[in-house]
Structure 1
Amino acid sequence: MPIDLRSDTVTVPTEKMRDAMRFAEVGDDVYGEDPTINRLEQLAAQLLGKESALFVMSGTQGNQVAVLAHTQRGDEVILEEYSHIFNYETAGISTIAGVQARTIKGTNGQMPISEISQAIRGNDIHYPKTGLICLENTHAFSGGRVLPLSYMEEVYNLSRQYQIPIHLDGARIFNAALSLGVHVKDIARYVDSVQFCLSKGLSAPMGSILVGSKEFIERARKWRKMLGGGTRQAGIIGAAGIVALEEMVDRLIEDHNHAKYLAQSLSLIHGIDIDAYGVESNIVIISVKGLEIKAEDFINQLNQFGVLANTFGPGRIRFVTHRGITNEHIEKAIAAVRAISNNNINS
């Protein structure tokens, strides 16, 4: 079997999840009668300190539903220019929600507070209304960097000044909480809504959760239905999500430790450029430009060693650690990169 470091989306459910799915008590969720989904939503809302929660098919659907529930057509949404919502969700906020993206260049996912303030539209007939601010924690494109609580509090205080809601794409919010050494509620308190994934590091087979106020979730539930997300006996999937939240959060620290060790080891290899000390969660991004090799060619050579990874822009390679990765896998990945480096230097 190859060592799959492409993404933490490749995790598979645990045996306990499979058993929970097999024996899950189910009902029609559109009628609100699936007891397992109801329990999952209550658990998620409680964990994040919000009034209510909604099970959705994916993180992308959760983010889309959130934008729809927060905004009106013609509004403008402020986002970091490399955010997942802007770059990797097929322009859903514009094509479906009918809102305009206002992107700001950030550092490690952090948009400068002064530039967020300047981007908020005034009351002018020529301007769209600023309807929403979106944050992402952890910030995937920057290598899983974590937004500090102090930064989130600053954005929150600014948003209250202008009465603009904040949505957090918290696909990996539990990774962020562990990295910060805080409870996940401490992050969620600074935003009006959060989407987080039950898959990825938490290892459920699919699904995400959207949390917020009771009124917000009522609006979101209707939008979910419009997008085809109204499911029936969804508890079969939701049962795995409950196991994920109850048993899989603390083990994420193993992924962080693997990523940090991988990063530190790769930083010692000639031709590999990486900020090893900037690795804060389970994502490692390296530059192979020093080897004078294209990212695609580097990936192909990695594959020959039985290691899978993804390109992540010109000359950049991304590795993501997860439950399926062991210490031995990490050592083999390091050895593969070292061999590729030596081969390219000596050729």
Structure 2
Amino acid sequence: MYSNKYTNGHRSTETVIDLRSDAVSQPTEQMRRAMANAEVGDDVFGEDPTVQKLERQCAELFGKEAALFVSSGTMGHLISIMVHCNQRGCEVIVGGSSHVYLYEQGGAATIAGVSLDIIPNNEDGTYSLDEFRSKIRGSDEIHEPTTTMAVVENTHNISGGKVVPLEWIDKLASICKSEGIKLHMDGSRVFHAAKYLNVPVSRIARDFDSLTFCLTKVCAPIGSVLLGSKDFIRQARRIRKALGGGMRQVGVLAAAGLVALREVVPKLGDDHRHTKQIAQAIYDSKSPFITVEINKVQTNICMIHLLKSEKYSAKYFVERLQKITPEELSEGITDKSGNGVVIKVCARDEWNCIRYVVYHHIDDESTELAIKKIKYCIAELN
């Protein structure tokens, strides 16, 4: 986020550009106004008109029968697992670097009592369909769990925001249908996938029994939407309540989601453009220590790769981007007001990989500032 810091009403000498995640974005002014003026009711009783409007719009947009507002993507995934895997001894197949497997505290096992079996993800976010077939286990074998569900993540975070190919999804969906396996999509950033492919999100969602997308990835402050059939959503609503997700006048949050669909989603191409501009600047630096795979940058996520060195590491570079030195100020690494520039990014590991993510508030000016600061810090290493 591009912003000046204020302390006791006085502007400090830092301009912060936060590229750690698109979920750090602030709600837009239009969202704040919509939230303040939202018509609300009790959503637990199904009486919040703003939530109803959001759910209707999402169901229509994705080509599904019904939708449900949930507090997070993690909750949406867990609910989906609990609906689809409603008997003891169920198993879900997921990618080995998927969010469901890595970053949801093993909720499938600890809360739903469902085991996860993993297949290593390929570079493009897919996994081997031959291995998928070989992992399917049926209820006829009393020693084994029953494969009940499979999960696809699109776009794929750890793969660097890669868009999962539609052809691969079609093949996986065909296998799942023939084997009676439910198919769920972690579509946290599915709108980015649709923008990249230049297809409606309904095409990507077509063969999934359920999916989630995150409103927080498109500037809304809270919330995700879970989609599926009417019967699936009926069961999901009941489980949402058990998980503590039955909120009351939640239309104040749904209102921001409606603005996101109307005003932020159509501009995701700008995020992709800014992501590529920063990546191109890193690539053009021709540093022996830092690079990006420029031809593989597709959406709003980019992975920066560092060669392992005793002197330089991902952790070091992350910390350096957050510092402002007198030397860089004298070299003009500042904004138009003379403020120093702080860049926040995430080290994916201690040594070799850094992730940055671009979102709605990263405009042309903040992109230029980010490039200026990153290029300066790379030159220091060289």
TM-score, scaled to structure 1: 0.96
Q: Work out whether 1:38 is the aligned partner of 2:56.
A: no
- 2-side partners of 1:89 and 1:336: how far apart? 34
Q: Work out whether 1:281 is the aligned partner of 2:299.
A: yes
Is the 1:86–1:101 contact (alpha carbons within 8 Å) kept by the matching residues of 2?
A: yes
Shift of 1:290: 5.5
SS in 1 for 2:68: strand
Determine which of 90, 95, 100 is the counterpart of 1:85. 100
User: Hey, what does 2:317 align to over in structure 1?
Assistant: 298
Q: How many residues align?
A: 344
Is the 1:80–1:106 contact (alpha carbons within 8 Å) kept by the matching residues of 2?
A: yes
User: Hey, what does 1:59 align to over in structure 2?
Assistant: 73
Identity of matched residues, %: 43
Q: Work out whether 1:328 is the aligned partner of 2:355.
A: no
**Residue type at the aligned position of 2:51:** I
User: Hey, what does 2:184 align to over in structure 1?
Assistant: 167
- 1-side partners of 2:365 and 2:49: how far apart? 41
User: Hey, what does 2:174 align to over in structure 1?
Assistant: 157
Q: Which aligned pairs between 1:1-347 and structure 2 lie closer than 5 A?
A: 1-72=15-86, 73-107=88-122, 108-122=124-138, 123-200=140-217, 202-269=218-285, 270=287, 271-289=289-307, 292-305=311-324, 306-313=342-349, 314-345=351-382
Is the 1:256–1:281 contact (alpha carbons within 8 Å) kept by the matching residues of 2?
A: yes
Shift of 1:343: 2.0
- 2-side partners of 1:259 and 1:338: how far apart? 15
SS in 2 for 1:304: coil
**Residue type at the aligned position of 2:243:** L
Is the 1:59–1:197 contact (alpha carbons within 8 Å) kept by the matching residues of 2?
A: yes
* Structure 1, 126-135 or 334-343: larger mean CA deviation: 334-343
Is the 2:281–2:375 contact (alpha carbons within 8 Å) kept by the matching residues of 1?
A: no
* Structure 1, 117-126 or 139-148: larger mean CA deviation: 117-126
- 2-side partners of 1:36 and 1:22: how far apart? 12
Is the 1:255–1:282 contact (alpha carbons within 8 Å) kept by the matching residues of 2?
A: yes
* Structure 1, 79-88 or 302-311: larger mean CA deviation: 302-311
Provide structure 1 residue ranges, at least 5 long, that are not aligned to the other structure.
none
Shift of 1:10: 1.2
* Structure 1, 32-41 or 284-293: larger mean CA deviation: 284-293
Shift of 1:148: 1.1
Shift of 1:302: 0.6
- 1-side partners of 2:290 and 2:247: how far apart? 47
SS in 2 for 1:103: strand
Is the 1:272–1:290 contact (alpha carbons within 8 Å) kept by the matching residues of 2?
A: no
* Structure 1, 289-298 or 175-184: larger mean CA deviation: 289-298
- 2-side partners of 1:98 and 1:43: how far apart? 33
Shift of 1:82: 0.3
1:279-307 Cα deviation digits (max 9, x unpaired): 11000101122665121111110101411
TM-score, scaled to structure 2: 0.88
**Residue type at the aligned position of 2:211:** V
- Give the alignment's Cα RMSD to 1 decimal: 1.2
Is the 1:309–1:317 contact (alpha carbons within 8 Å) kept by the matching residues of 2?
A: yes
Is the 1:166–1:191 contact (alpha carbons within 8 Å) kept by the matching residues of 2?
A: yes
User: Hey, what does 2:332 align to over in structure 1?
Assistant: none
* Structure 1, 326-335 or 10-19: larger mean CA deviation: 326-335
SS in 2 for 1:54: strand
* Structure 1, 117-126 or 184-193: larger mean CA deviation: 117-126
Alpha-carbon distance change, 16 to 341 in structure 1, aligned in 2, over 3 angstroms: closer
1:233-289 Cα deviation digits (max 9, x unpaired): 000111111111122211011000111111122112202122111111000101122
Shift of 1:166: 0.4
Provide structure 2 residue ranges, at least 5 long, that are not aligned to the other structure.
1-14, 325-341
SS in 1 for 2:266: coil
**Residue type at the aligned position of 1:175:** H
